[in-house]
Amino acid sequence: MSDEAPPSSPSGPRESAAPARLEFEPLELTPHVAPPAVASQSAAATAAPPAARVPPALAAAQAKDAAVRRRHRIGRSLGTSVVIHLTIFAVLFLLIPLPHDPPPETPVRVTVRLREWHFMGNDPESDGTGPRGAGPNVPPPEPPKGKETPAGFLDDDTAKSANAGVGRSPAGSAFAGRIDGKEGLVAAGGGDGATEGAVHLALDWLARHQEKDGTWNARRYVKLCPGVVCDGASDEDYVTATTALALLPFLGAGHTFRDGPWKDVVRRGLTALHDRQQDDGRFDGGQKRAYADALATLAVSEAYGLTKSEPIGDMARRAVAFWVRTQNESGGWRYDPGDREGDSSVTGWVAMALASAKKAGIEVPERTLQRCGGWYRAHTDADGVVGYTAMSTGSKSLLGVGFLVRVMTGTSPDDPALAATAARLEAAMPRWPASDGDLGTAFGVADPMHWYYGAMAAFQRGGSTWKMWNDRLRPLLLGHQEKRGCAAGSWPPVGETGAKGGRVVVTALGALTLEVYYRYPRVTSAVR
């Protein structure tokens, strides 16, 4: 085949030669060098970025936030530590046993033998009949020293002592038996060294719980306990009434402000009453102040009978004059001077105060005393029940009150008019409460007030009545007197009286009850 030219294209004649060979310039590769801006970005991709330039305000805020976070971390750490330590302490507190109470003290016996009994009661002996069994192992601390006695009060320079016996008690007076011849009276009445030792220990307890100002407080006496407190505080203070009542057993046992181991206690107590007496003769202005005034009158009258101290005599005369002025038409008294009615409880305390004042040599109108006796005649029914404010409404404690007041105001203990009350007294024998809910505690047979008034009434009655009461009272009081610690010598606050007056009142009444052998002489010496 021969070579032929290709057909021509529409655009022009066809090239007649073979297509030309394309040729390129050789490619020369060189390292890439980035521009300055690109180079800096590439370096940032491989190296740590430089510190950003932050505005000052933003930097300060960031620093503050960091500090707050650090404080929060520290606070959380401390809180966690405190919780952990408290948990550890709590676990240790639960695991470690608590200390136990110290072992009980080894009891000792405190006794008084009548043949060697000193009327002031110094140093009871360690052998003999024994008063009440175990006692405190360590002697109690000295009674607190009170304020100085006001100048002129209880000044003995002018005391009438011409006819005074031992302790300056008027020889042959109604109070002489508390000092002279006590041994014979105790033995004749059915007491012994046991009863006298119990009285001594009760006085010691009262002395240890006297306030520095000379008062006794039915509620706050517990602050004077050196260790474990003596329970049984009253809900009220009853300062005047409690002070007077606590003084009475010291005076009842013949202790005065002149002699004996408790002369300072008696002096401070009388000074406290002196400071509280008002111009009209009253001592107290509180609720039911009649009890406080009557008890204070009784205390200062007995103190005057024992000492014939004129400052005390002046107190007693003003107190007696107040009661004479305020006796109502019925012959009795109640809570306030203007009361037209009376009750056997308040009237009983007032009548005993006036009777004691007369025995001490203070002038008391006979008409006043006779009207006191008339009150009880009008309030005692044919069965011997003594009423409170009306006939046949009284508790058993009023049996002793009614009997005793009538004897102290002139009626013979053998009078047939008292026989029915005496019979009821024999049937109402004292006993210790069987439980807290014992119905005998409501001023009944299981109450210290009944024991106190009943014992004095039975003692005046004498014969089988007194023997029955004495045989029951001695073991009752000696067996329940506290024997250990600070409470040794006191009695628990039982009965309605204990619920109202507390341990101080019950202890004073207990001691007075055991002093019945010599506190007041029998009106008659007849023996049945």
Is 526 inside any structural domain? no
The Cα–Cα gap between 511 and 494 comes to: 15
Is 95 inside any structural domain? no
- Is the pLDDT higher at 5 or at 383? 383
Model confidence at 388: pLDDT above 50: yes
Is 50 inside any structural domain? no
Q: How confident is the model at residue 520 (pLDDT cuts 50, 70, 90)?
A: very high
Is 450 inside any structural domain? yes
Pick the closest to residue 486 from 246, 233, 234, 227 (CA basis): 227
Question: Per-residue pLDDT tens for 478-514?
Answer: 999 998 889 999 999 999 999 999 999 999 999 999 9
User: What local confidence, expressed as pLDDT, does residue 56 receive?
Assistant: 76
Question: Per-residue pLDDT tens for 259-292?
Answer: 889 999 999 999 999 999 999 999 987 777 999 9
Model confidence at 85: pLDDT above 90: no
Is 2 inside any structural domain? no
Number of domains in the chain: 1
User: What local confidence, expressed as pLDDT, does residue 28 receive?
Assistant: 54
Neighbours of 214 (CB within 10 A): 25
By residue range, what is the domain housing residue 398?
A: 108-519
Model confidence at 8: pLDDT above 70: no
CATH number where 304 lies: 1.50.10.20
Q: Helix or strand or coil: residue 474?
A: helix
SS3 assignment for 164-228: ECHHHCECCCCCHHHCCCHHHHHHHHCCCHHHHHHHHHHHHHHHHCCCCCCCCCCCHHHHHCCCC
Model confidence at 321: pLDDT above 90: yes
Is 391 inside any structural domain? yes
User: Side chain identity at 376, as an amino acid letter?
Assistant: Y
| Cβ-contact 82, 163 below 8 angstroms | no
Model confidence at 33: pLDDT above 90: no
Residue 409 CB-density burial (10 A; 0-12 exposed, 13-18 middle, 19+ buried): buried
Counting residues of the chain whose pLDDT is more than 90, the rounded percentage is 55
| Cβ-contact 395, 444 below 8 angstroms | yes
Strands (E), 41-98: none
Is 144 inside any structural domain? yes
Range with lowest mean pLDDT among 40-44, 222-226, 471-475: 40-44
User: What local confidence, expressed as pLDDT, does residue 88 receive?
Assistant: 80
User: Side chain identity at 496, as an amino acid letter?
Assistant: E
Is 65 inside any structural domain? no
User: What local confidence, expressed as pLDDT, does residue 137 receive?
Assistant: 46
Question: Per-residue pLDDT tens for 185-212?
Answer: 999 999 999 999 999 999 999 999 999 9
Q: How confident is the model at residue 370 (pLDDT cuts 50, 70, 90)?
A: very high
